[in-house]
A and B are shown apart, each in its own frame.
Chain A
C-alpha cells in the first residue's frame, strides 16, 4: 500500500516536472543574438556601434560606450556565439574623458576607427588602429569636432570652419571658404573622390577629396552645386553614399522632427524625402538586391511602451526614391520603457553576409535573420 502510494507520487512528480533546459535550447533557436553590457567599466554601453571588417567567418562589431569612455568589440563566432568586451581600449587614455550622445564613430573599413568627442567648446579625437588583438590609439586634441570621416587612410575632422587631416602625430588644417560654415555630416564618395558635406545650415555640396589629402594649410576650394535642405541637421546627422545617390538623415536641433533626403549626386538635387519623427540614427544596408535605409527611432512608443524601434525603408537606387512605409520595423520582442532601442544602427558582415545590428541602452542586437534576409549560422 505505502509503496504503491510512493510510486504514484513519484510518477505524478515526474509528469509534472518542468525541464528548464528547454528554455536554453529554445534560446539557441532565436534569430537574434543579444549582447548585454560586458564588464568594461561602462554603465552606458553601446552608445555607438560600427560593423568592422572581418574575414569570411563570424563577424566583429566596434562598440563605443560612455560613463568611462571605452572602445571594445563584440566578436561573433561563425556559429553566432558572441563574446563581448574584446579588444578593450580605455578612451580616457586618449584624451576622451566624456562622450556626448551620439559620439562620432567611423571606420575606414580596413581596421582603423576614429572616435570623436563631440564638443562645442573643444574636444578630442581618438584614432584606434592596429591588430584586433592589439589595438593601439593616438589622439588629437582640442579640435571641437563636428564631423569625422575617413579619406583613404586619413581621418578628416571637420571642426567649425576648419577641416583637419589627421595623420600620424600630425594634424593639418584647411580653412573653409566661409567663416560661418559648420559641418553637420560628411561622407566620401570614393567612386568620384568627392567628400560630400552637409552643413548645419542645410547646405549639401561636394569637395574634391584631393584637397584634403593632405590639407595644404590653405583655403578649400569653393563648393560647386549646392542643395539646401529644408531641415537644418542637428548633431547625429549622417550622410550615406549609395551609388549615384546620397542619403541624408538628420533630426531637427530642437524637436523630434527627423527627415531623410535622397540626393541625386549627379545633379545635386533631391530625388526623394521622407519625414521620420524621432529619427536619431541611420545606416544603409543591402540585403539581397535591395538597399534599405535603416532608421533608428529610440524614443518611439511600441505597444504603449517608449522603448524604441527601427524602420527599414527600401531605396530604389535607380530612381532615388524611398518606400513611404517601412519594409520592416524591428523592436525588442520584450520592449521595455527607456530601452532606447535603435539609438545606434549599423550593418555588419557575418559569415560574409550582411546583417543588421541595432544598439539599445547597454544592449546590442545582432539580427541573423529577419523577414528581409536570412544569415542564420
Chain B
C-alpha cells in the first residue's frame, strides 16, 4: 500500500497570491464586464478586441493575470497572422506580467514563450527584409515557425478575487486545520470547488463556497458584520504545525500553530491543548473576554523523533513494547519515538518474544517486520522436572530410612541390649538405602540440570525480524504567516 500524505498543499497556490488593489466594487464590476467581453472576443479569435478588453479590465483592477491575458491575445494574433507587431506586443505584456508577478509559478514557461516569440520576431524581420529587397512589394504571409507551433495555443486565465469589507480578514481554505490561506484582499488562481472561511477579529466569521473556473473571473465580495460578544485567541508555539485542541480533544485538532492572526472564540474559560509529535503536550486554561484578544505562546519541550513501524504476520495478536512499556496492545504499531537507542519488544502468546535494541534516528522511518517463531513445547522439561521430583523424593525417602536405621543402630549399640552384631542386616540395608539415596540424588541432580537446560535452552529458531530504515522526505513548508518543515512518509 502506498499512502501519500501531503502536508503542504498550499505552497504553490499561496505563491500565486497577491494583494488586490483596494478599489471600489464599481471598479470590480467594470473589470468583470471587460474580462467577460474580452474572454468572448478571445474565443472568437478577435484578438485585438480581446487584448483591448483585458487592458480595460486591468485598468479597472490591475490584476497581473490580466496582463498575461493581453500578452496571450497578441501571442495568438501573431501566431495567426505572423505579425511582428503583435508578437512584439505579446512579448511586452508577458514581460509586464512577470514584472508584476515575479514569483509567478509559470514564470519559466512564460520566459520560454518570450524567448520563442523574440526569435520568431527576428526570423520574421529577416525574412521580410530579404523578400522586400527582392520583390519590392508587400511580403506575403509566412507560417509560424515550428517553435511557435510547439508552444501550442495559449489559453487566457481566469481569476479568483476575494475581497472583504473591511479588508485584512484571514482566509481559510476548506479547513481551518490547514492554517490561514491568505488575507483579504486576495486574487489568484484556484481550481475546483472550495469552502472559504473568512475571519476577522471583531467580526462575524463568513463561510461560503466558490466554484473556481480557470477561464473565468470569479469575485467574492463579502462585507463582514461586526460581532462584539466574541473573544479572540491567538496561539503560537516554538514548533510550527503543532495541533491545537480547544476544550474537547475528542473532536480533534481545530487548527495548527501558529494560529495567527487568530480566531473567534466564545467568552469564558477554555482549556487549550497544543501538541506535536515528539514533544510534551502543552495545556493551559484561559479566560476569554468579549472583544478581547488572548495570546498564547506554547513552548513545547521535547526532542526530535523518528518514526517506528512494527508490522508482520500475526502482529494483530502481538503486543509491542518500547523500553519495557506497552505502546501498542495490538499491532500493527506506528509510533513516533525520540531519537536514541530503544529496546523494542514484540510479544505474542504462544510465540517467542522478539526483542532488539535499535537506534532511532530523527527524520527516519524504521520499519520492523517481525516473523515470530512459535514457542516450542516444554514437555521435555516437565518430564525432567517430574523425574527430578520423583528421584529427589525417592532420595529423601531412602535417605530418611537410612538415617533412621543409623539412629536405631547407634542407639541400640549404645544401649547394648540386645547387642548389635557387626553383620546386623540393618547395616547392609542402611548402606543400600544410603547408596540408593545418593544414587537418587545424583540422578535427580542430573535430571534437574537437564530440566534446567530444557527450561532455558532456546529450542527452535528464534523470532526474527527484518529492519528497514529510510529517511523521511522533508520539505520546506511556507504559509502566508508561517514557515516550517513538512514530512512525507510511505507505508
| Interface, chain A (partner B; CB < 8 A) | 1-2, 5-6, 9-10, 13, 16-20, 22-24, 26-36, 329-334, 363, 365, 367, 369-371
Chain A residues with Cβ under 8 A from B419's Cβ? 30-32, 330, 333, 367, 369-370
Q: Are B445 and A10 within 8 A (Cβ)? A: yes
Interface flags, B287-330, vs A, CB<8A=1, else 0:
00000000000000000000000000000000000000000000
Judge whether B418 is part of the interface by a CB distance below 8 angstroms.
Answer: yes
Known: A16-B441, A370-B416, A371-B417. A30 touches B424 (CB 8 A): yes
Q: How far is the CA of A365 from the CA of B392 in the complex (A)?
A: 39
Tell me if B412 is interfacial: C-beta within 8 Å of chain A. Answer: yes
Judge whether B434 and A5 touch: CB under 8 Å: no
Which residues of A have CB within 8 Å of B399?
16, 18
**Are the CB atoms of B426 and A334 closer together than 8 Å?**
yes
A9 pairs with B456, CB closer than 8 A:
no
Contacts of B426 in A (CB 8 A): 334
Chain B residues closer than 8 Å to A330, beta-carbon distance: 418-419
B425–A334 CB distance below 8 A: yes
| Given known contacts A31-B420, A332-B418, A371-B417, A16 and B396 CB-to-CB distance under 8 angstroms | yes
B437 CB contacts on chain A under 8 angstroms: 16-18
B26 surroundings in chain A (CB, below 8 A): none
Q: Which residues of B contact A17 (CB under 8 A)?
A: 437-438, 441
User: In the complex, how many angstroms separate the beta carbon of A347 from the nearest chain B beta carbon?
Assistant: 16
| Main SS class of interface, A | mixed
**Interface: B24 (CB within 8 A):** no
Other-chain contact of B421, A10, A16, A33 (Cβ < 8 Å): A33
CB contacts (< 8 Å) of A20 on chain B: these are 402, 430-431, 434-435, 438
* Nearest CB of chain B from residue A317's CB, rounded to whole Å: 26
B472 interfacial by beta-carbon distance below 8 Å = no
Residues of B in contact, count (CB < 8 Å): 41
Q: How far apart sit A23 and B399, CA to CA, in the bound complex (Å)?
A: 13
Are the CB atoms of A6 and B418 closer together than 8 Å? no
User: With a CB–CB cut-off of 8 A, which chain B residues contact A370?
Assistant: 416, 419
Q: Are B418 and A22 in contact (CB under 8 A)?
A: no
> Which residue of chain B lies nearest to A335 when distances are taken between CB atoms in the complex?
B418
Cβ-defined partner of A9 (8 Å) among B413, B438, B452: B452
Q: Which of B123-131, B403-411, B481-489 is the interface stretch?
A: B403-411
For B448, what are the chain A residues with a Cβ–Cβ distance below 8 Å? 9
With A and B bound together, what is the CA distance between A23 and B420 in angstroms? 13
Residues A16 and B395 in contact, CB atoms below 8 Å apart: yes
Instruction: Please give the distance in Å from A301's CB to the nearest CB on chain B.
Output: 15
Please state if A26 and B445 are interface contacts (CB–CB under 8 Å): no
> Is B433 in the interface zone, CB < 8 Å from A?
yes
**Whole-angstrom distance from the CB of B443 to the nearest CB of chain A?**
10
Q: Does B444 contact A (CB under 8 A)?
A: yes
What is the bound-complex CA distance between A298 and B30, given in angstroms?
Answer: 150
Give the docked Cα–Cα distance between A131 and B395 (Å): 53
- Cβ of B351 within 8 Å of any chain A Cβ, yes or no, is no
Which residues of chain A are near B349, meaning CB under 8 Å? none
| A32 touching B420, Cβ below 8 Å | yes
| A-B CB proximity, top 7 nearest | A34-B423, A32-B421, A20-B434, A18-B434, A34-B421, A31-B419, A333-B420
Q: Are B431 and A2 in contact (CB under 8 A)?
A: no
Q: Do A18 and B438 form a contact, CB below 8 Å, given A27-B427, A32-B419, A371-B417?
A: yes
Indicate which residue in A6, A27, A332 contacts B422 across the interface (CB closer than 8 Å): A27
B59 proximal to A (CB < 8 A): no
B434 touches A29 (CB 8 A): no
Q: A330-B419, A331-B418, A333-B419 are in contact. Are A18 and B402 (CB under 8 A)?
A: yes
Q: Are B452 and A19 in contact (CB under 8 A)?
A: no
Contacts A18-B437, A18-B438 given; indicate if A26 touches B456 (C-beta within 8 A): no
Provide a sorted-by-A list of 10 A–B residue pairs whose CB atoms are within 8 angstroms: A16-B396, A24-B431, A26-B409, A27-B422, A30-B413, A31-B419, A34-B423, A332-B418, A332-B424, A371-B417
B358 interface residue per 8 A CB criterion: no
Name the A residues within 8 Å of B431 (CB-CB). Answer: 20, 23-24
Query: In the complex the two chains form, what is the Cα distance from A329 to B420 in whole Å?
Result: 13
Is residue B22 within 8 Å, beta carbon to beta carbon, of the partner chain? no
Task: Say yes or no: is B442 at the interface (Cβ < 8 Å to chain A).
Answer: yes
Is B449's beta carbon under 8 Å from chain A? yes
Can you name 10 extra interface pairs (CB under 8 A) apart from A369-B419, A370-B416?
A2-B456, A18-B435, A20-B435, A23-B402, A23-B431, A26-B409, A27-B423, A27-B427, A32-B420, A371-B417
Q: Point out which of B423, B438, B452 has the most chain A C-beta atoms below 10 A from its C-beta.
A: B423
Query: Are A18 and B420 also in contact (CB < 8 A) when A5-B452, A26-B409, A26-B413 are?
Result: no
> Cβ of B420 and Cβ of A30 under 8 Å apart?
yes
What's the Cα separation between A26 and B448 when bound, in Å?
33
Give, as a whole number of angstroms, the nearest-CB distance from B405 to chain A. Answer: 8
A219 shortest CB reach to chain B, Å:
51
Closest Cβ–Cβ distance, residue A154 to chain B (whole Å): 38
Q: Which residues of B contact A2 (CB under 8 A)?
A: 452, 456
Report the minimal beta-carbon distance from A311 to chain B, rounded to whole angstroms: 12
Measured between alpha carbons, how far is A112 from B227 in the docked complex, in Å?
148
> What is the minimal beta-carbon distance from A23 to any residue of chain B, in angstroms?
5
Closest residue of chain A to B398 (Cβ to Cβ) is: A18
Chain B residues with CB under 8 A of A26: 406, 409-410, 413, 427
Given known A2-B456, A9-B445, A31-B416, contact A23–B434 (CB-CB < 8 A): yes
- Cβ distance A248 to chain B, nearest Cβ, rounded Å: 28
> Most A CB atoms within 10 A — which of B421, B434, B437?
B421
Q: Is the CB of B433 within 8 A of A18?
A: yes
Q: Which interface residue of B406, B409, B422, B433 has the most chain A CB atoms within 10 A?
A: B422
> Is A23 within 8 A of B421, CB to CB?
no
- A10 partner residues in chain B, CB cutoff 8 A: 445
With A2-B456, A30-B419, A30-B422 known as contacts, the answer to whether A23 contacts B441 (CB < 8 A) is no
Q: Which residues of A contact B422 (CB under 8 A)?
A: 27-28, 30, 32-34
Question: Which B426-464 residues sit within 8 Å CB-CB of chain A?
Answer: 426-428, 430-431, 433-435, 437-438, 441-442, 444-445, 448-449, 452, 456
Q: Which B43-69 residues have C-beta < 8 A from chain A?
A: none
Is B421 a contact of A332 with CB atoms below 8 Å?
Answer: yes
Decide: A18 and B403 in contact? CB cutoff 8 A.
Answer: yes
Q: How far is the CA of A367 from the CA of B416 in the complex (A)?
A: 11
* Residues of chain A contacted by B406 (CB below 8 angstroms): 22-23, 26
Chain A neighbourhood of B421, CB < 8 A: 30, 32-34, 332-333, 365
Give chain B nearest CB distance to A62 CB in angstroms.
20
A34 to B426, alpha carbons, bound, how many Å? Answer: 13
A35 (CB) vs chain B CBs: closest residue: B423
Say how far A31's CB is from chain B's closest CB, in angstroms.
4
Given contacts A28-B422, A34-B424, contact A22 B434 (CB under 8 A): yes
| Chain A residue at minimal CB-CB distance from B448 | A9
B427 CB contact (under 8 Å) in A5, A16, A23: A23
Q: Which of A13, A24, A333 contacts B445 (CB 8 A)?
A: A13
Report whether B434 and A19 are in contact in the complex, using a CB–CB cutoff of 8 Å. yes
Which residues of A are found within 8 Å of B441, using beta-carbon distances?
13, 16-17
Chain B residue numbers with a CB within 8 Å of A27 are 422-424, 427
How many whole Å from B228's CB to the nearest CB in chain A? 74
Which residues from B are CB-within-8-Å of A36?
423
Determine the chain B residues whose CB is within 8 A of the CB of A365 once the complex forms.
421
How long is the Cα–Cα vector from A110 to B368 in the complex, in angstroms? 104
Question: A329: nearest residue on chain B (CB-CB)?
Answer: B418
| Distance, CA A13 to CA B430, complexed state (A) | 19
**Which chain B residue has the least Cβ–Cβ distance from A29?**
B413
Residue numbers in A under 8 Å from B438 (CB-CB): 17-18, 20
Q: Which residue of B lies closest to A26 (CB)?
A: B409
Q: Are A333 and B434 in contact (CB under 8 A)?
A: no
CB neighbours (8 Å) of B409 from chain A are 23, 26
